[in-house]
Amino acid sequence: MSRREEVARLAGVSPRTVSNVVSGAVTVAPATRQRVLDAIERLDYRPSEIGRMLRKGRTGMIALVIPDIESPYFSELGSALTDAARRRGYTLVIEQTDGVRDRELELLARADTKAVFDGLIVNPLALTDEDLNRPTPRGRPIVLLGEETHPGFDHVHIDNFAAAQDAVRHLLGLGRTRILALGAQRKGHSSSSLRLAGFEAVIAESDATGSVEYVDSFSRASGAAAVERVLERGPAPDAIFCFSDVLALGALAALADAGVAVPDEVAVAGFDDVEDGRYVRPSLTTVSPAKDVIAEAAIDALHRRIEGDDSEPAHVLAPYRLVTRASTISGDRVGAPLRRTDR
Amino acid sequence: MSRREEVARLAGVSPRTVSNVVSGAVTVAPATRQRVLDAIERLDYRPSEIGRMLRKGRTGMIALVIPDIESPYFSELGSALTDAARRRGYTLVIEQTDGVRDRELELLARADTKAVFDGLIVNPLALTDEDLNRPTPRGRPIVLLGEETHPGFDHVHIDNFAAAQDAVRHLLGLGRTRILALGAQRKGHSSSSLRLAGFEAVIAESDATGSVEYVDSFSRASGAAAVERVLERGPAPDAIFCFSDVLALGALAALADAGVAVPDEVAVAGFDDVEDGRYVRPSLTTVSPAKDVIAEAAIDALHRRIEGDDSEPAHVLAPYRLVTRASTISGDRVGAPLRRTDR
DNA sequence: TCCGGCGTTTGCATCGAGGCAAGAACCGGC
DNA sequence: GCCGGTTCTTGCCTCGATGCAAACGCCGGA
């Protein structure tokens, strides 16, 4: 019944010889090889990947643990990671946590329990060091994305502090004086913290006044709601630095609804450089992290760990750049923003 | 060395008994069970999923073959499918084809070759009937999404023809008379064809004049470029029915850049109801397919096939609804569009 | 004619889990 | 004390592939 046996019978050899032909590791007489290949062709035999997995103790699968694949930043990153993984011969499985700590924990435990993954790439939102250490005594390697610098793990990130500074300096350079930071979070989430720190550092050494608006999550709805609160409270800022593009997209919607002109009355900058931001009007000034570099570096680091590298944890700093578009730069150039800002 | 053996030794039983305790299928004496459970706990033993896969001939993994996870419609659908799959105990693996037929073929072949997936959910863009039949003589079940009604396969879709009709009738009901269909495609892609057919059917029985603009792909860039062509060519339509929301988002950008007022001069409707359409301004009127129903139905159908059901191919028709927003309905209500149109 | 040596082929064991049925232990009943 | 019948435990085999090393066949050389 077993397919390999059938091939062997048809070719008049032992099952073992079929394996030898398939793997190519051992020398097989050309005549025999040909007979086996013909039989394989005739019977359409394919070696079972599961059998190989069992033998090798490897599955070739990597889990990507992120809050939410619907969010454009993560879907773009997920896409880049999927491609990078495939290039290295891995299959990427996307697991969504919705940013809930219990769910992040459950997934880590499950990933470890089922032992189906050769390694994990995790973008934690709410995990503590102990959380991360607990579920992998077995030693599935983990690479972290984002700013959670848990000790002992490889880590790929951009300089959120510097990037935030660049964005805020850009706003100051436009002559804005009342800057709102939108997207601080009450708990956890060090990306937010670092962006906030960058914001505050620049504000502190400037003449401008800064204010901070908190959100529960990075979403368009949160961004819009936050701006509504801010406008109601008054006086309105003349620039908003949003900690993510989806927040900024929500903010733009709320500003438009309130009849506030962007960028003339309020300049808006985001963070992530998602596709939507290029096509919203006014198009969105934003910090653009090199997502493909991040993806490549993460897969690369994980691959090395899977291959047994046990050197010190690596911390890869990926580049970013500030992309200025119409949401902060007004006027004459708005006619052809697509050409100017598209990559 | 083998973990199960260690557990057995520590508990003073045979390896087989450990399996019996774990699976729970066979009766084990309470005292023995407890000793084994203690040993499992002490040694932190987890049964290997790979071993189970080999034994059962099932992996619990489903492949989702789509053009592109970055595209918001597919990322939203992917998210819904991931959740639905998990609820049924499956793990979903997302494979991107970029809409290229060779890549779609390669993935189907690979999925079959590696035999890692229990089944596939495929949203084909360019596959022919023979393509689909060729690579699965082995019989991995396939469920198709979208409008490609290849015979012999389960199939989940919405009534694209009727939905397009609804959208166009909505535009006509606003008094528009020069309607542009944006998103027809030269080759393959029957979703486009059906939406085009719906458009033409309604136009034919109306007094309005219809025109059609072709695109190479569903993307914001294509939508923007198409509108630029149309405006250049003149005279401008007074309504545009876009065959997808990303096309519409590109169209809105191009219209804004050209200084064309939406909806006053041109009304714009889309298709898919992606998140960004709710937050762009003006917010986007669109056909909203019930994505969670689609996801649930697809996983459900595939699950039944995996379980051995070999009844006639099922064709599931998921509901949709037309969501009217500010891009077609002007004026007084624009102040609070979020509340009015959000689900 | 016999033997060493080479190239090729094959059997055995292993990676974990679990279906099957035989074996072991124990019970009450006569 | 012995027997039939439970209840529990265990060994064997299979799912596929493959590392390892033994076995095989064939060659030329002594």
pLDDT digits 0-9 by tens, B64-79: 999 899 999 999 999 9
Could you give the percent of chain B with pLDDT greater than 70?
A: 87
A57-158+291-319 to CATH, choices 2.40.40.20, 3.40.50.2300, 2.60.40.10, 3.10.20.30: 3.40.50.2300
Task: Report the pLDDT averaged over residues A230-250.
Answer: 96
Instruction: Please provide the DSSP assignment of A120-186 as one string.
Output: EEE--SS--HHHHHTT-TT---EEEESS---TTSEEEEE-HHHHHHHHHHHHHHTT--EEEEEEE-S
Instruction: Assign domain B3-47 to a CATH class.
Output: mainly alpha
**Between these two residues, B137 and B154, which has the higher pLDDT value?**
B154
CA distance B252 to B285: 12
Instruction: Sort A137 into a burial class: Cβ within 10 Å, 0-12 / 13-18 / 19+.
Output: exposed
Whether chain B has a CB inside 8 Å of the CB on A339: the answer is: no
Residue B254's nearest CA partner among A169, A337, A225 is A337
CA of B29 to C1' of C30 (A): 29
- Asked if residue A286 has pLDDT above 80, the reply is yes
Query: What confidence tier does A332 reach under pLDDT thresholds 50, 70, 90?
Result: very low
Identify, with chain letter, the residue nearest to nucleotide D11 (CA–C1'): B16
Q: Which is the CATH superfamily of the domain at B58-159+291-319?
A: Response regulator (3.40.50.2300)
Contact: B115, A337; criterion CB under 8 Å: no
Task: Report the pLDDT averaged over residues B202-228.
Answer: 96
CA distance B243 to B221: 14
CA distance A100 to B220: 32
Could you give the percent of chain A with pLDDT greater than 90?
A: 68
Residues in a beta bridge with B120: B63, B142
Whether chain A has a CB inside 8 Å of the CB on B34: the answer is: no
Residue A5's nearest CA partner among A40, A53, A50, A52 is A40
What pLDDT was estimated at residue A111? 63
CA of B108 to C1' of D8 (A): 48
* Strand C nucleotides with an atom less than 7 Å from a protein beta carbon: 7-12, 14-21
Query: What confidence tier does B336 reach under pLDDT thresholds 50, 70, 90?
Result: very low
Query: What confidence tier does B335 reach under pLDDT thresholds 50, 70, 90?
Result: very low
Contact criterion met (CB below 8 Å) for B252 and B268:
yes
Give the residue from B6, B50, B90, B103 with the most A CB atoms within 10 Å of its CB, the best one to mutate. B50
What pLDDT was estimated at residue B326? 97
* A69 contacts on B by Cβ (under 8 Å): 69, 75, 78-79, 82
- Asked if residue A149 has pLDDT above 80, the reply is no
Which of A166-175, A242-251, B96-105 is the least confident region? B96-105
- Asked if residue B225 has pLDDT above 90, the reply is yes
Residues in a beta bridge with B212: B181
Q: Which is the CATH superfamily of the domain at B160-289+323-341?
A: Response regulator (3.40.50.2300)
Contact: A54, B59; criterion CB under 8 Å: no
- Asked if residue B164 has pLDDT above 80, the reply is yes
* A114 contacts on B by Cβ (under 8 Å): 46, 49
For A288-326, the three-class secondary structure string (H helix, E strand, C coil) is EECHHHHHHHHHHHHHHHHCCCCCCCCEEEECEEEECCC
Whether chain A has a CB inside 8 Å of the CB on B22: the answer is: no
Whether chain A has a CB inside 8 Å of the CB on B87: the answer is: no
Whether chain A has a CB inside 8 Å of the CB on B98: the answer is: no
Whether chain A has a CB inside 8 Å of the CB on B51: the answer is: yes
- Asked if residue A188 has pLDDT above 80, the reply is no
SS3 content of chain B, % helix, strand, coil (to 5): 45, 15, 35
Task: Report the pLDDT averaged over residues B207-219.
Answer: 95
What pLDDT was estimated at residue A56? 92
CA distance B120 to B111: 8
- Asked if residue A39 has pLDDT above 50, the reply is yes
Task: Report the pLDDT averaged over residues B198-202.
Answer: 98
Q: Which fold is adopted by the domain A160-288+323-341?
A: Rossmann fold (3.40.50)
Domain positions in chain A are: 3-47, 57-158+291-319, 160-288+323-341
**Between these two residues, A137 and B171, which has the higher pLDDT value?**
B171
Statement: the CB of A19 is under 7 Å from strand D:
yes
Across all residues in chain B, what is the average pLDDT? 88
- Nucleic chain C contacts, protein chain B, residues 277-306, CB cut-off 7 A: none
Judged by CB atoms within 8 Å, which residues 278-297 of B form the interface with A?
Answer: 278-281, 283
Whether chain B has a CB inside 8 Å of the CB on A51: the answer is: yes
Question: Cα Rg for chain B, rounded, in angstroms?
Answer: 26
Question: Looking at the partner chain, which of B75, B257, B335 has a beta carbon nearest the beta carbon of A337?
Answer: B257
Contact: A338, B253; criterion CB under 8 Å: yes
Of all residues in chain B, the one with the smallest CA distance to A62 is B93
Residue A189's nearest CA partner among A248, A144, A131, A146 is A146
What pLDDT was estimated at residue A337? 37
Statement: the CB of A28 is under 7 Å from strand C:
yes
Question: Looking at the partner chain, which of A46, A79, A276 has a beta carbon nearest the beta carbon of B115?
Answer: A46
Contact criterion met (CB below 8 Å) for B186 and B214:
yes
- Residue A175 backbone zone (phi > 0: left; psi -120 to 50: alpha; other: beta): left
Task: Report the pLDDT averaged over residues B109-128.
Answer: 76
What pLDDT was estimated at residue B102? 74
Contact criterion met (CB below 8 Å) for B42 and B72:
no
Whether chain B has a CB inside 8 Å of the CB on A93: the answer is: yes
Task: Report the pLDDT averaged over residues B134-158.
Answer: 77
Which of A12-16, A313-317, B83-87, B102-106 is the least confident region? B102-106
Identify, with chain letter, the residue nearest to nucleotide C11 (CA–C1'): A16
Task: Decide whether A57-158+291-319 matches A160-288+323-341 in CATH topology.
Answer: yes
Contact: B79, A70; criterion CB under 8 Å: yes
Task: Report the pLDDT averaged over residues A209-232.
Answer: 96
What pLDDT was estimated at residue B291? 97
* B113 contacts on A by Cβ (under 8 Å): 46
Question: Cα Rg for chain A, rounded, in angstroms?
Answer: 26
- Asked if residue A131 has pLDDT above 70, the reply is no
- Asked if residue B274 has pLDDT above 80, the reply is yes
CA distance A227 to A239: 12
Residue B122's contacts (CB-CB under 8 Å, 6 or more residues apart) are B64, B65, B104, B108, B132, B142, B143, B144, B145
Instruction: Sort B177 into a burial class: Cβ within 10 Å, 0-12 / 13-18 / 19+.
Output: middle
What pLDDT was estimated at residue A130? 56
DSSP conformation class of A61: E
Task: Report the pLDDT averaged over residues A102-124.
Answer: 76
Residue A92's nearest CA partner among B104, B91, B84, B79 is B91
What pLDDT was estimated at residue A160? 95
State the pairing for strand pair B209-214/B239-242.
unpaired
**Between these two residues, B146 and B165, which has the higher pLDDT value?**
B165
Statement: the CB of B11 is under 7 Å from strand D:
no
**Between these two residues, A120 and B336, which has the higher pLDDT value?**
A120
Which of A6-10, A256-260, A335-339, B316-320 is the least confident region? A335-339
- Asked if residue B337 has pLDDT above 50, the reply is no
Contact criterion met (CB below 8 Å) for B281 and A252:
yes
